[in-house]
Amino acid sequence: MEISDKLLCLFSAEVSVDDDNYVVEIPRREVETGDIDPGDTYRVALISRDVEEDSDDGESTGAPPEPQPPVEIGETRYVEIEDIGKQGDGIARVERGYVIIVPGAEVGERVKVEVTEVKSNFAVGEVIEESF
């Protein structure tokens, strides 16, 4: 399966019924971290998965684990700054739309960064080479 680089977030959720509507709830962390904004319109992809009724040991397997960040602390990446965040930092996106925040970078810059901090849905990178 091909996953777009424009993917903003990835999570598992149940579809519930609310009167004449079906509802997929967005986890609070996706809005709080700024990946998505309330009131904006987004495309949503639903991926079917088979749910085991009974496992061999009689226990439910629970929700699938969340995907791991595609970067690690200390890793270097060549990125292009696509946007500026609310606090003025450069924003670059890598695999699955994962965000790397680059303080001091400007839109359109192509820089080499070293990842200094990694969270579940974003990382922070420090510029170590400008204009590659």
Per residue in 33-62, pLDDT (tens digit) is 767 788 888 777 777 666 554 445 545 555
Q: Which strands sit side by side in the sheet containing 90-93, from one edge to the other?
A: 76-80, 110-118, 122-130, 99-102, 90-93, 83-84
Query: What pTM, to 2 d.p., does this model score?
Result: 0.53
> Tell me, what's the pLDDT at 78?
94
> Tell me, what's the pLDDT at 2?
64
Q: Quote the distance between the C-alpha of residue 100 and its chain's center.
A: 10
Which stretches of the chain score pLDDT less than 50? 53-55, 58
Burial of 5 (0-12, 13-18, 19+ CB in 10 A): exposed
Give me the phi and psi of 24, to 5 degrees please: -115, 120
Average pLDDT value over all residues in the chain: 82
3-state secondary structure of 30: helix
> Tell me, what's the pLDDT at 36?
78
